[in-house]
Amino acid sequence: MLLMGNEAIVRGALEARLSVATTYPGTPASEIGDTFAKVAEQAGIYFEYSTNEKVATEVAIGAAASGLRAMVSMKHVGVNVASDPLMTFAYTGTRGGFVLVTADDPSCHSSQNEQDNRFYALFGGFPLFEPASPQECYDMVKKAFEVSEELGQPVILRTTTRVAHVRGPVTVGEISVGPKKKEFVKEPARFVTVPAVARARHLVLLEQLSKAEQMADESEFNTVIRIGDGGRQGIVTSSAAANYTIDAAKGMGLHVDVLKLGFSNPVPSKKLLDFLRTHDIVVIVEELEPVLEMQVRSLAQREGLGTKVFGKMDGYMPRAYEFDQAIVTRGLARAFSSDQKETTRCELPQDLPTRPPVLCAGCPHSATYYAVNKATNKKALFASDIGCYTLGVAPPYSTADLLVCMGSSVGTAGGLAKVNDLPVIAFIGDSTFFHSGIPGLVNAVHQGHRFLVMILDNRTTAMTGHQPHPGSARDPCNPGAISVSIEGVVKGCGVKWLKVVDPYDTSATTEAVKEALTQDSVSVIIARRECALIAKRDEKGAIVKKHYIDQEACKKCRTCVTKFQCPAISSIDKLQTIDEALCAGCGVCAQVCPYKAIKEAP
């Protein structure tokens, strides 16, 4: 069957006696959780969308330490959040198979950085699998659970966007999930990492890693693929880069051996040394950081080998962005001094209008940003956060001045407010607030920071595909889920000034922002209105009717496109129009127009 890499991961896990799966959604990993959400009940496993990646990891650790197989999935930056429990879980080890899936995003298609999470495998001491195709996602997940249980160590499976979001043929087997219950057998000398235990367990980890290296050396996922007649030239590669490498080598007509690593940490030293000894030139082809290259060079130096090694440390391959066949072809041609017709990159004409992503028609964030700009006259500093609302960075709103990671808006706003005189506003979504905004708010209350937090509550985790969060009224995976009140949390944190507004009412929102900014402590506004896409899907969205622009009343002031942004409104050659098919009927534009030229459609 044709499966997306993320779906193949789920399928493999369901055939590998999985009992518990957890996640916090994030592109390009989201479909792992979304697929579990669809099938968990029928398959008979437990699945949850956890509050954040750290909690998701900890829930999975609880199950795996009890002896059941557990999987936790997240995007690459999610592992930063989860890294605290992970680093020490490598010391305790696990009883049931434990697989962490990290989906990396070379080229930052949908991310704030392109960090290479293979370093976490080296950093924490995790056996690492790197599938290159949906079939390998399926195969390696099954193997990863076996390896994890055999070693008693947590294992990482790392994909990238071009593995996670590729669909390809996958041959599957029979579903076979694990039991629902297993009694935790107490063993504090292993699982309670007081210093004495931690010191002892570190040695166990190192011992298990050397066993893992033997397994990597014998792994069927670390194999030599001969291109042409092979010969004295070689390539070491892994993950998506292996695909580009093999296609490029074939396309170039090279005679070369490709050592493709699927079980890549610990590196299979014996296999690598054999490969280095039997080849005169070895090129390392890997996306992002020189993780394999550093280790290959170190092995060659240790053994005093004269093999020439090329990679990105000497500039043959780029260190930033994802690869493609052309990039790899260029690097290989230089390293192997092979005569290749230089392929030039096709450049797009400069005059093509760009089409970056935008806030949707009827998006409540759009209305909120309009009101904030009106209230502050843009004389404010905006700490933004991760979600659809980050798109407010673009004109006409320009409501994002500082953004580093999930939940950072509230913390950074505190620092901004301490050293600036301009008013400071933090924007954070409902899901992100639960994820990691709360500690920042507690800190702001306790330290007496003075700024406004606007919780943009659209009742869902919109950007990643409308997953539930702790404030959601309904959770498809958990019918009895309790909705945690954002107001309750905010008040519980000790916030003295709190208001809830409907962003579709722009004057009330504007007034609330003005009032909030006069407070002498941290203030909170919850701007609550359901995501327009969900409202549309459930056909209960429009609070008012579709709108049109009365061209006779229109004074061509263009306020509807210079102060407000809606995909349904276009302005070409001074003619402003509303596309009725796109209009969500929110009526915000009618409040924006100073001449009352935007009217309800008859």
Question: Letter for the amino acid at 113?
Answer: N
**Placement of tokens 């909690």 in the chain:** 55
CB of 77 to other proteins, least distance (A): 13
CB of 373 to other proteins, least distance (A): 15
222/325 with CB nearer other proteins: 325
27/208 with CB nearer other proteins: 27
**Placement of tokens 């795996």 in the chain:** 64
359/416 with CB nearer other proteins: 359
Q: 3-state SS string over 53-113? A: HHHHHHHHHHHHHHCCEEEEEEEHHHHHHHHHHHHHHHHHCCCCCEEEEEEECCCCCCCCC
194/352 with CB nearer other proteins: 352
133/208 with CB nearer other proteins: 133
346/473 with CB nearer other proteins: 346
29/452 with CB nearer other proteins: 29
Contact positions toward other proteins, by CB under 8 A? 1-2, 4, 27-28, 30-31, 109-110, 132-133, 162, 165-169, 242-244, 246-247, 324-326, 343, 345-349, 351-360, 388, 391, 394-396, 463-464, 561-562, 565, 567, 569-572, 581
| Contact (Cβ atoms closer than 8 angstroms) between residue 407 and residue 435 | yes
CB of 110 to other proteins, least distance (A): 3
Angle of helix 408-419 versus helix 438-447 axis, rounded to 10: 30
Other beta carbons within 10 Å of 477: 18
Cα end-to-end distance, the chain, whole Å = 50
31/293 with CB nearer other proteins: 31
CB of 324 to other proteins, least distance (A): 5
Between CA 359 and CA 128, with CA 34 as vertex, the angle to 5 degrees is 110
For residue 354, what are the contacts with CB-CB under 8 A and spacing of at least 6?
Answer: none
CB of 173 to other proteins, least distance (A): 18
Distance CA 308, CA 312 (A): 13
For residue 238, what are the contacts with CB-CB under 8 A and spacing of at least 6?
Answer: 130, 132, 260, 261, 262, 264, 286, 292
Other beta carbons within 10 Å of 204: 16
CB of 209 to other proteins, least distance (A): 31
Distance CA 407, CA 444 (A): 13
| Contact (Cβ atoms closer than 8 angstroms) between residue 183 and residue 344 | no
CB of 246 to other proteins, least distance (A): 5
Torsion angle in degrees (nearest 10) through CA of 472, 473, 476, 479: 130
153/384 with CB nearer other proteins: 384
CB of 518 to other proteins, least distance (A): 32
CB of 325 to other proteins, least distance (A): 5
